[in-house]
Amino acid sequence: MDRPPHPLALTVSSPIKIDIWSDIACPWCYIGKRHLEAGIAALGDDAPEVEIEYHSFELSPDTPVDFEGSAADFLAGHKRLPVEQVQGMIDRVVGIAANAGLEYDYEALQHTKTLKAHELLHFAKDQGLQLELKERLLKAYFVDGRHVGRVDELVALGAEVGLDADAAREALDSDRYAAAVQADIAQAAAYGIQGVPFFVIDGRYGVSGAQPAELFSQALTQVAGEREAAA
């Protein structure tokens, strides 16, 4: 685990904060989410209380909202790799996702710009529904083949987790959370984050990538132990 700057001093009794930089269109972010959840669950009754907050990160900010072509087509152009090689990469990540209990459907996947989805996640955070929306958006993108770049679709997905549809639409149409999204992206740059998922645990330890569940269990146990020792 790496140490990002700006450590936070927290008490033993307060929840362990887990800040996660993530993108809706990142297959490893959904896998990493499942691994984190499994790592917490594996601790059972010994699991410390945690508070999870997601932060915005755009892997491909130049993506159009309505991309014509498959995910393989986009990745081949973006990474300048042969389509056959990209398809092999996709097949590999689909297999790893399946081991995490996720059924990715790249045939149905609609590649799109995720900026508005990030704005909606900030709105959902203010409504106390960010975690629910994050799960719904990831499933919508990788499993259900929904278009998470269009406002109408985002409003509908938000309503599924309990967001007020009219308020969600107003938040997106007004760009009210655009600055918050850019602030997250700027903070990622300040931390030196170049790829996602990236987990910052307790404001002190950085975990990069969709690491195994065991690593998250160990990290949380270590942080809890350090707090107790410092108390």
- Separation in Å, CA 50 to CA 21, 41, 193: 16, 12, 22
Checking if the pLDDT of 2 tops 90, the result is no
Checking if the pLDDT of 161 tops 60, the result is yes
Nearest alpha-carbon partner for 179 in 101, 230, 122, 105: 122
3-state SS assignment for residue 17:
strand
What DSSP line would sit under 148-200, residue for residue? TTSHHHHHHHHHHTT--HHHHHHHHHTTTTHHHHHHHHHHHHHHT--SS-EEE
3-state SS assignment for residue 147:
coil
pLDDT for position 79:
76
Checking if the pLDDT of 214 tops 80, the result is yes
Domains of the chain: 16-230 (3.40.30.10)
Q: How many whole angstroms separate alpha carbon 172 and alpha carbon 121?
A: 10
Checking if the pLDDT of 103 tops 80, the result is yes
How many C-alpha atoms does 143 have within 13 Å on its Cβ side? 13
